[in-house]
Structure 1
C-alpha cells in the first residue's frame, strides 16, 4: 500500500480527486489531502508519503517549492504536478526537480490517474531493486559473523546443514570449513558457579577463552566457533587437507581417532592458561571421531549432556572423551534419546499453537512431546527429567493471567496415559481462552476505530491518522480491518459521514454548506455529489422528503 497526498488550493479539485482515487481499490492507496502547501508540509513532516499530486501555483508556496521540501523528507517520493498553464519555464523546472509527470488540468482526471499508476509502478520497481541490492550487501558486510552464528546455532539445534544451505540467507555464506568433508566437535563449559558475572562480563570471558583456544590450536587445523545458549563454547574443527598426512593411515584414510587424541593434548594448555590468566576453570567434551555435517546436532546433544553429568560430580577442568572404550561418560551419553532438535522444534511449535488458540494441533503436539519424554527417561534419565520440566515451564508461561486450572501433574507421571489426557485437556483449555481473548481484542479494535471516526467526522480521517490513534501500522491496519469486517476503512468513513449528514439534515437550523463543513467537506458541491452517491438524492431533496 502506498500513501498518496493530494494538494491544491481549490477544495473542489482536491475532494474530487480524493473520491476518484478512493474508488480505485486495486491501487491500494491511503489517500491524504491538503488545501495548501503549508498544510501539506505539516502532513509530510509527520507521515511518510509515497506519492504526491500537487497544483503548481498556490498561495504562499508553489508546488515546485513544495516538491523540494518533500524530497528532503522523503527522497523516494514520486511527484506529479498539475497546472492550468503549459508554460515552458514550469515544465523545465519540474524536469530539473526529477518530477515524474507534469499534467495540465485540462487533460482531465484520467491523465492524473494514469500518472499516479505510472509513479506507483516506478516505486514498486525501485523497491524491488533496492531489495536485491540489500541482499547483495548483506553478504559482504559486517553481518557475516551474525549469519555464521545463526548458521551454526541452527545446526546445533538439529537442522541439517544441507537444508540450511539451501535457504537464501545462508546459500553463499563463506565458511573457513569445507562442508563436503567431515569434522570434529569440541564443546567447552566455563565454571561460573557463584561468580555472579553480568551478561556482558560473561561474553567478554567467552571471547577471551575463544582467543586462547585459537592461539593454541595448531595451524594444521581450521576452525569456526560459536557461543551456544549463552553458556557453551562450541568449536567445529577440520584438519587442513594439505597438512593431515601425519594422521593418515597406510590405507590413505584419515585416522580420526588419532586426531581426537592429539586435540586432547592441545586442550591441556588451553585449560591451564584460562585458569591462570582468566581465573576460570574450563571443561571440554570431545566426540569419538569424525562427524558428518547433517549429524552434528545429534552429537552435540551427547556432548552437552556429558558435560551436565560431569557438573553433578563437581570435578573442575575435565576433558571428556566419548571415544574412550572404558570412559566414565561414554555409556550414558551415547544412549539414544529423542532426535536432536526435534524436542526444541516441537516445543517451539507448541508454544505458537497455544498462543494462536489452535486446539487440535496443540493437543497433538503435547501428546507427541510427552511420548518423546517418556522414551528419553528410559535412555537418559536426567535428560528426560530436564525435558519434562521444560515442558512444564512452557505451560506455566502460557497460563499467566488466564483463568485456567492448575497444572495437572507436577512430578514425573506414573500413569502416562492419564497424564497425556490431562495435559492435552489443559492445552485445549489454554487455547480456548487465548482464542477468546484474541477475538475480544479484535472487536475492541474495531470499536475504537469506529469511535474515532464518529468523533472526528470533520477532521483528519486518513488511514495514517486513524492508525496512529489506535497504535497500529497503517498498512497492516487496512488489511486487518477488512479481514475482520469485510469492508475497507474508507467505506466505514463514508457510511458514518452519510449517517451523520442525514441526522443533521433533520435539524432545519443548519444550512447544507454548514453540514458539509462539519463533515470535512470544503466544497459544498462535492458534499452534494457524495451524498447523492450514498443515498440516491441530494441533501436538499432528502431534507424536503423528511418534512413532507
Structure 2
C-alpha cells in the first residue's frame, strides 16, 4: 500500500514517515507534500492508496484535497489529521468521502492501528475486484460462445460486451497434428487464447475460446481502418508468426469479414472456420480470408459439425439451468424462455442428444439431488422435498420410491452412520 503524507509542518511529515516506514512491512510512504497542491502533483505521478493529510494548510486545505480525490481518484482513501475538534469539519469530511480522522496529537498505536485496518480493507477490496473481473471475463466468454452458435445474448448481459466499431472472428487451427512433447491440444489452444488477449491489445479487445481441435477468437476492433481485408490479413499473419515463435508449433488461421452487429457473430464464425479449413489443406498458406474462398456456401460436412456442436452447447446450457433451478416448478417452456429458444425445438434436440425427455431427465436430477440431501440424517424429508422442487411431500415420496425402490425415510435410515 502506497501512502502519501500531506502536512505543512515538516516535523509532522518526517515523524509520520519514519513511524510508518519502520512499522509497516505491507506499506510504503511513497511521498510527502506540504499542502494539497503539492499532493496533486504527486498523485498525478505515483499511484497512491492512502493519503494522511492535515486539515488546515495554505494553498489547498485538507477538505479541498478530499473533494478533489473523491472526484478524480475514487480508489484512494483519505484520513484527516487535525488539531481542530470541529463538528462542521467532520461533517464536511464525511461528505467528501474521508475514511476517518485523527485528532492531534494521536498516539503511535492509534495511527498504526488505523493504517493497518485500512491496509486490510484495501487488500480485501482488491481481491473482490479481481474476482469480479474474473467473473465478468468468464461470463463474457460464455455469452460469446453462445453467440457463435446462434444462441441470443440476454438483454441484461448486453453491458458486458466491449465497445467496438466492428469485429472479426479468427479461427486458429494446428497446421499439422504434431505437437510439442508434453503439450495437449486443449492446453495448446488455451495458450493461444491467452497470447491473443495480450497480443491484440493495440487494436482492440480479443476474446478467445477453446473448442475441440480449434481456437476461435472474437476481435472487437476500435482502431483499424474501415473494411480493409488486406490489413486484416497482415495482422493475422503477424499473429500466427508470434504463435509459432512462442509455442513452437505450426498454425494456420481463418479470417471472417468485418461485421457490425453481434447478431452476425454466428455467420462470422462460419466464415472464419471455412477459411481456416482451406488454409489447413493448403501446403503454403498460413492465413486465409473468407474472401479467398471460392465456394459461396459452407460445405455440408462443416455445417453438420457446427450443428452438432451447437446442439451440445444448448444441451449443456439446458442441464446447467435445470440443476441451478431444481427448487422451482420447472417446465421445458421455462428453460426455453431463459435460453431464448423455441420449446418444441429444444425438447426435440434434448431428447435426440440425451435419449430421454426433458421431464424424465429433470426427475432423475431431482432424485439424485434428493439422495445426496438425505445422506444428512438431520434434514427432514419434507425439507428435501421442497429443495428438489416437490411441493407435496407425499407425491415426492411416491416418485422417490418409484425410482429408488424404497421410501425417502427408509433410504435415510439405511444411510444412517453406524454408532461407534
TM surpasses 0.5: no
* TM range, smaller chain: 0.3 to 0.5
TM-score, normalization by structure 1: 0.32
